[in-house]
Amino acid sequence: MKKSLLSFFCGLGFSISPMSAFADHAFLDSLNGQITANEIEMLFSGEPYERIDTSYELYLKGDANREDVISFWSRIYNTADSENELDQIVLQIQEIDDSNLCLTDGILENTKALSFRDMCR
């Protein structure tokens, strides 16, 4: 079902902005199952901070698993254009990941980022 939904949206050329995804929880509910980091990438474009929030919301709902969220965050981190952007991304992830879930532990395995070592203690 999720693959056909994704194909339907992509085939019709719809673009889904992160803000509309936040506003339309019915859309997120319609995903109804696991989506991968690649699908998150295709469905939600925009500012890295909005994409991080969206992927975390999907994780909390059970629509994206831990490994896919880590992979997605790692991609965002590795494509940052400046030190300032890297800092903002790290701060955003730290702010979101203040629970005992500590998703950021897994990012070390997927990125060149040493700064993530101190994020979960």
Asked if residue 79 lies in contact with residue 42, where contact means CB atoms within 8 angstroms, the answer is no
Is the pTM for the entire model greater than 0.75?
no
Length of the chain counted residue by residue: 121
Match 């300032």 to its residue by tokens.
84
Query: CA geometry: angle at 31 spanning 49 and 97, to 5°?
Result: 35
Quick: pLDDT tens for 69-98.
777 777 777 777 777 777 777 777 777 765
Burial class (CB in 10 A: 0-12, 13-18, 19+), 14: exposed
**DSSP 8-state secondary structure symbol assigned to residue 12:** T
